[in-house]
Amino acid sequence: MAIFSVKVPKEYNKQERLDKYIASLPNGMNRSKLKSGVCEILINGKKSKLSQKIKPNDQIDIQWEDNIPDDIFPENIPLDIVYEDENVTVVNKKQGMVTHPACGNWDGTLVNALLYHWGRESIKQLKEGLDSEILERRRPGIVHRLDKETSGLIITAKNRDSEEWLQKQFKEKKSIQKEYICICTGRPKNGAGDIKTQIIRDPKNRQRFKAVTDTTDGKFARTIYHCIACYGNYSLMRVRIKTGRTHQIRVHMKYLGCPILGDSIYNKPDSLFPKATLMLHSFQLKIKLPGQNKNTTFQTKVPVRFKLIQKKLKEKFCKDVLVIKK
pLDDT tens sequence across 82-129: 999 999 999 999 999 999 887 677 789 999 999 999 998 777 665 555
Domain 2-64 sits in CATH at: 3.10.290.10
**Parallel, antiparallel, or unpaired: how do β-strands 46-47 and 151-157 relate?**
unpaired
CA 176 from centre of chain: 17
Q: Is 108 within 8 Å of 97 (Cβ atoms)?
A: yes
Q: Is 236 within 8 Å of 227 (Cβ atoms)?
A: yes
Residue 30's CB is within 10 A of a number of other CB atoms, namely 10
Q: What tens digit of pLDDT does each residue of 162-218 get?
A: 999 999 999 887 789 999 999 999 999 999 999 999 998 887 787 789 999 988 888
> Of 180, 29, 171, 211, nearest to 93 (Cα)?
180
Three-state DSSP class for residue 210: strand
pLDDT at 35 > cutoff 70: no
Three-state DSSP class for residue 64: strand
pLDDT at 241 > cutoff 70: yes
Q: Determine whether 19 is an active site residue.
A: no
List, by residue range, all CATH 3.30.2350.10 domains of the chain. 71-172, 177-320
List, by residue range, all CATH 3.10.290.10 domains of the chain. 2-64
177-320 domain in CATH 3.40.50.410? no
> Of 245, 204, 242, 205, nearest to 223 (Cα)?
242
pLDDT cut 90: percent of the chain above it: 57
Q: What is the mean pLDDT of the chain?
A: 87
In CATH terms, 71-172 corresponds, of 3.20.10.10, 3.40.1390.20, 3.40.50.300, 3.30.2350.10, to 3.30.2350.10
pTM: 0.81
pLDDT value of residue 276: 97
Of 147, 161, 194, 214, the active-site residue reads: 147
DSSP structure class, residue 301: P
